[in-house]
Amino acid sequence: MLINGQLKYESQKLAMNYFRVALVLFGAQLLMGLIAAIQFLYPGFLFELFDFSVARMVHINALVVWMLYAMIGSVYYMIPDETGHEAVGIALGKLAFWILTAAVAVVVLVYIFIQVGSGSESTIWFINEGREYLEAPRWADIGIVAVVLVFYYNVFFTYLKSEKKTGIMTVMVANLFALAGLYLCGMFFTDNISMDQYWWWWVIHLWVEATWEVFVGTLAAYALIKILDAKREIVEMWLWIEVLMLFGSGILGLGHHYFWIGTPEYWWEIGALFSALEPVPLVAMFVHVLYDWGKEQGHAEAGGAGTAVKNSPAMAWIASNAFGNFLGAGIWGFFHTLPQVNIYTHGTQFTAAHGHLAFFGAYATILIGMMYLGVQGAYGIKKMTMTFKTKMSLFLIIFGVLGMAVALTIAGYEQVLVERADLGGGWDAFFIAQELPWYVQAQAWRLVMGIVTLVGFVYLAWDLLTIGQEVSQKESESVAAAA
């Protein structure tokens, strides 16, 4: 991941820069999660120095930002492949990258060293906005919008320039417009907490349960063609079906966040119905990836070509994505999406369990896969195979995140029964549930599994930095041996 050597297009070199920063922020996310997990068990840890609220804020912000970086990187990487052109405003794109990275660094430093401000508008403008996931202060919001405009300009006008407009690019251009536009819904202040959360969910939900999902569908379509030589017509037809199902369920599925925030009762029915349908496209995406994989592998074997997979680390992560998306977003989401259940699970570790498994299964996996595709391109590798480190990182990260999700689910289950169903919520009910052994044990397992994940990440970072060199060397040796 250290060099761009074999990449022909500036757009793809820029993509590698986005991937590099994404990897650093991914590491930061895990470190912050570790601190927060320790604080659940040892509340005195860094108390009044680096409190849970700070660790948790940086944890979830690093998550969102590394994913956005990897998403922008993925798009810059695919633009030349899909349009046959260099990104039109590449110089501007590079400048935007450095501005964004400088801004992110400043925001993180302020989060870590200043942490909170006085109850005034200036805190919201310069320190943090105090709204989960959207904590970035307003100046940074405006900066992000400017950078995203540059990015979108590059995507849109390069798309217009292409002679043959592919289905993948068409979906990408339309979806990114919605994705970017939705961010604006989170950029205002109101005294009315219900109004605040109503629009806050427009950003959060319509990102992660609609536009980000379509984005993943687009990436998977591109990757299947790239890795397996899957037939474009089939892949693109599936992509349109996925768009239909994802937006058909996800847009009104937004209603499942409007059960208890002051909004009217009709959201119970709307939210329940449409969000219950949300797992359907995720099953379809899983079937689709496995179908294409099996089909292309069959062709390859019939032709005596061995494996159809040109990048097995990327393929492994994309297959993990197909299943992880269904499991984390689909199953774990469905667990608590009906209002009859959600009245007890809302605001418990159930949500945290779902959050961990869904962000990982639906997004982290495929974005890691895209990074491996980038490495393959940068080193000009024809067939990228796994190293020991690839396998270790796959195993440890997947096992670690699954373990965390299961532990948090058990914690959530206990919380639901004891704090909510039995004791009815409130200060005492909360702490009684937090102090019961079942809850504490679950938190301990979460910490253990978090450490497993972190070790897996070390393998991942190490692998991404070295696999290109290793495999390309092997490849050139075998070419030399054959000659």
Partner 1 sequence: MSKKSASVWTSIPFWRRSAAWVTGVATVLLIWLTFDTMGQISMGSDEDLKNGITKRIPAASVINYHIDYQFDDKRGHEVPVIGEKETFFGKEWSAEEAAKLLHLGKLTSQAKNCMNCHTLLGNGAYYAPDLTKAWLDPKWNDGTMTGITGKASKEEAMAEFLMHPSQYPTHARMMPNLGITKEEAVALVAFLKHMSAIDTNGFPRNFSQSAKRLEGGTHAH
Shortest reach from residue 161's CB to partner 1, in Å: 22
Whose CA is closest to 323, among 295, 287, 293, 359? 287
Neighbours of 400 (CB within 10 A): 22
Cβ–Cβ under 8 Å, residues 311 and 227: yes
The DSSP code for 183 is G
Q: Indicate the residue among 191 and 304 with the shorter CB distance to partner 1.
A: 191
What is the C-alpha to C-alpha distance for residues 169 and 167, in angstroms, rounded to an integer?
5
Which is it for the CA torsion 23, 379, 220, 279, positive or negative? negative
Instruction: Dig out the tokens for 262 from the structure.
Output: 């002051």
Residue 284 CA to residue 287 CA, distance in Å, equals 5
Give the nearer residue to partner 1 in terms of CB position, either 105 or 114: 114
Cβ 48 to partner 1 shortest distance, Å: 5
Q: Tell me 87's DSSP state.
A: -
Least distance in angstroms from the C-beta of 136 to partner 1: 12
Taking the complex as a whole, the smallest distance from the CB of residue 228 to partner 1 amounts, in Å, to: 18
Length of the chain: 483
- When the beta carbons of 5 and 426 are compared against partner 1, the nearer one is 426
Residue 113 vs 388, nearer CB to partner 1: 113
C-alpha 404/C-alpha 451 separation (Å) is: 10
The three-state secondary structure class of 144 is: helix
* Minimal distance, residue 191 CB to partner 1, in Å: 5
Q: Between 129 and 463, whose beta carbon lies closer to partner 1?
A: 129
CB of 351 to partner 1, least distance (A): 7
Closest residue by Cα to residue 212 from 325, 305, 316, 303: 325
Whole-angstrom CA distances from 244 to 75, 155, 224 are 22, 23, 20
Return the number of the residue (243 or 371) whose C-beta is nearest partner 1. Answer: 243
Q: How far is the CB of 421 from partner 1 (least distance, A)?
A: 8
Give 340 or 482: the residue with its C-beta nearer to partner 1.
Answer: 340
Q: Which residues contact 439 (CB under 8 A, 6 or more apart)?
A: 411, 414, 415, 433
Tell me how far apart the alpha carbons of residues 222 and 75 are, in angstroms, rounded to a whole number.
10
| Residue 266 CB, nearest approach to partner 1 (Å) | 8
Q: How far is the CB of 253 from partner 1 (least distance, A)?
A: 9
Q: Which two tokens stand for residue 218?
A: 């687009």
Give me the residue label for tokens 């329940």: 272
Task: State the nearest-atom distance from the C-beta of 259 to partner 1, in Å.
Answer: 6
Q: Which is nearer to partner 1, 146 or 283 (CB)?
A: 283
Q: Which is nearer to partner 1, 310 or 446 (CB)?
A: 446
Closest CA to 156 of 165, 214, 12, 222: 165
Contact 310, 228 (CB under 8 A): yes
Nearest one of 394, 267, 395, 414 to 353, comparing CA atoms: 414
Residues 6+ away with beta carbon under 8 Å from 145 = 180, 183, 184
Please give the single-letter amino acid code of residue 415: Q
Q: How far is the CB of 423 from partner 1 (least distance, A)?
A: 4
- Residue 184 per-residue DSSP state: G
Judge residue 123's burial from the number of C-beta atoms within 10 Å of its C-beta, 0-12 exposed, 13-18 middle, 19 or more buried: middle
Nearer to partner 1 by C-beta: 116 or 458? 116
Q: At what angle do helices 90-113 and 52-83 cross, to 10 degrees?
A: 170
Q: Tokens standing for 33? A: 């999660």
Q: Which is nearer to partner 1, 89 or 425 (CB)?
A: 425
Nearest CB to partner 1, comparing residues 56 and 295: 56
Smallest distance from the beta carbon of 7 to partner 1, in angstroms?
31
